[in-house]
Structure 1
């Protein structure tokens, strides 16, 4: 994992400020060794013209939104990037950023990075960075399920255009948006970018492995106490006091984020069956699953799991536990799958013993 190239997926709904953010990031000295793939919706892309970067590492996919029909394009593009890098036809980039169209569900991109054998040999998923508009974010979440999913699966949430929040009413709207994002994705840090300005270190090295620390980022990744706090303070109504917005289409009522904590070591075969049953019956609604497991046969080496819908990344075994706490912790981000269904399936397979509700 330490020698593979980290890939960050930059997503966010139309007009959220992704291109402005990316343009500013690419001016930062710390981004000099970054390759960028920009995906455009439609036959002719324009956003790449707005990204100021004089580098041959800029590649545009113009075959439509990143979905099942263009996964082959993505695979070919990343393969070509690797070959050109190996032949020294382009600079020796050490990081890759994929900017999606605002209409994209990020899941197919994650699927591709996790399942293509060639890509897995050279690249690793670092994390998902989702951009949310401070001014229009609430209305976008109300009206577009894609925006809700983008926010729910993020490892980092970047709120843009906060410089436009200048009056008390706008400030209350921003507070409501922050509270809503906290409910949708309790463990993801929420960062503010004024006019697209943000430090790269705040966005990257967010995933399974951080080379600068030589360890998995599971403690920040999971943060089960964040899910406990979110559940206790927000409940399922998602009201947050902003009655001035009629929630006739509140998509995030269907999206849940929760952490299941298991006290006892887990039987590997039983957990494999749990995963097979879950993805076989509810795979489409598993937006993201990530966790650290205490497997009975290897108690001194925690297993790190990561799944998106029907696809699970191969298990990564850590050399040691990152803390004294050896309980298994699994975060589920789901659409229309209640926590009780997950717990009943675990209990029916005799997996671990759930701790107090998180």
Structure 2
């Protein structure tokens, strides 16, 4: 038996984020009561921030407790990577019950990018965990003011796969906030706080560890529509610099071409890539698409699906960028695919000097 054949399937992992006071703790308390989270490890910053008395069964050690819902709950002591590695050691050594998924609750002031970076870059963690999605909680009462005042809140909303709008019952018209969130991140559905755990935590893995609706995870159609006439911003708000759009191809993409495009984009503009995710048909194996996602200059090793999720075999990349002109990226994509336009950049020249790419 080869080493690869003995390697366990990666454990789906969801990041739960949102600004201070948004309602993450309330949402997490509800999720912990859901049977769908059995066999889940929930990583929190401190136990004291969450009312767990009604769920507590026993303390496993000073950093971990077993909950009545069948979940393990542990605190981050220092480095998140060290916490994730420690969980794997305890799991592999039989010191804790094997778990099927992980949920990480970030601090309210956290910029999600470094967390996502760690999850898709660390050479060991990428073999054992697979990022399933980012869920961001937004406060319906204070959301507009928070987005205005705090860049971290903008990034939390921009990189989300799903957004939960909390406290909507405490305010009146939420339409302006919803419109702003759609403009900021058109590919992310905006859910009520009572959304089912299966819906909220589903990603391209799904709660059962099998493939879910990848295209729903991408939300590519929404991102494409936003870029074609529906992406409006208040010019006085700094989230005008954050844009969401998608790149498409109706024909399979040569593997080397795709890799070169990603390398050029992330080497030239890595800090401006808040999030990238996609489903791509590669020319050497078009019947088995690859799922790719990344943050800033790090792109996760593509995951090959056994088959297309539906009859649509269009390759789609969804990008959320800051201070980067979507039109330029689209022209670069077209140039690499051999469908240049008069204003397209010279891909070959830019490959030799990626830092010369204009930022828009």
Task: State TM-score, norm by structure 2.
Answer: 0.82
* Superposed displacement of residue 353, structure 1: 7.8
* Superposed displacement of residue 145, structure 1: 1.2
Cα 1:46–1:317 shift into 2, 3 Å: same
Alignment match of 2:95 (pick from 84, 89, 111)? 89
- What is the alpha-carbon distance in structure 1 between the residues aligned to residue 28 and residue 137 of structure 2? 11
Which position in structure 2 is the counterpart of 1:205?
Answer: 202
Q: Between the two structures, name the one with larger relative contact order (CA 8 Å, sep ≥ 6).
A: 1
SS of alignment partner, residue 125 of structure 1: strand
Cα 1:118–1:2 shift into 2, 3 Å: closer
Cα 1:134–1:50 shift into 2, 3 Å: farther
SS of alignment partner, residue 292 of structure 2: strand
Alignment match of 1:61 (pick from 56, 76, 81)? 76
Which position in structure 1 is the counterpart of 2:176?
Answer: 176
- What is the alpha-carbon distance in structure 1 between the residues aligned to residue 12 and residue 99 of structure 2? 10
- What is the alpha-carbon distance in structure 2 between the residues aligned to residue 351 and residue 303 of structure 1? 21
Cα 1:52–1:35 shift into 2, 3 Å: farther
* Superposed displacement of residue 15, structure 1: 0.6
Alignment match of 1:111 (pick from 94, 107, 117)? 117
Which position in structure 2 is the counterpart of 1:314?
Answer: 301
1:291 aligns with 2:297: no
1:225 aligns with 2:211: no
1:92-143 per-residue CA deviation (whole Å, 9 max, x = no partner) reads 3222111101111111111111122222232211110100000000111111
- What is the alpha-carbon distance in structure 1 between the residues aligned to residue 156 and residue 100 of structure 2? 25
- What is the alpha-carbon distance in structure 2 between the residues aligned to residue 189 and residue 259 of structure 1? 16
SS of alignment partner, residue 192 of structure 2: strand
1:211-254 per-residue CA deviation (whole Å, 9 max, x = no partner) reads 64843532102233212433456333x24xxxxxxx74x12101
Which position in structure 1 is the counterpart of 2:60?
Answer: none
Which position in structure 1 is the counterpart of 2:69?
Answer: none
Cα 1:28–1:299 shift into 2, 3 Å: closer
SS of alignment partner, residue 159 of structure 1: strand
Alignment match of 1:75 (pick from 81, 90, 102)? 81
Cα 1:353–1:21 shift into 2, 3 Å: farther
RMSD of aligned alpha carbons: 2.4
Cα 1:92–1:352 shift into 2, 3 Å: farther
Cα 1:233–1:255 shift into 2, 3 Å: same
Which position in structure 1 is the counterpart of 2:49?
Answer: 47
* Superposed displacement of residue 178, structure 1: 0.6
Give structure 2 stretches of 5+ with no counterpart. 1-6, 57-64, 67-71, 342-360
1:123 aligns with 2:120: no
- What is the alpha-carbon distance in structure 2 between the residues aligned to residue 347 and residue 229 of structure 1? 18
Cα 1:351–1:101 shift into 2, 3 Å: farther
SS of alignment partner, residue 141 of structure 2: coil
1:284-306 per-residue CA deviation (whole Å, 9 max, x = no partner) reads 01011111112122222212211
Contact 2:8 2:128 in 1 (8 A): no
Task: State TM-score, norm by structure 1.
Answer: 0.83
* Superposed displacement of residue 318, structure 1: 1.7
Which position in structure 2 is the counterpart of 1:151?
Answer: 157
Name the count of aligned residue pairs: 322
1:281 aligns with 2:268: yes
* Superposed displacement of residue 342, structure 1: 0.5
- What is the alpha-carbon distance in structure 1 between the residues aligned to residue 148 and residue 291 of structure 2? 34
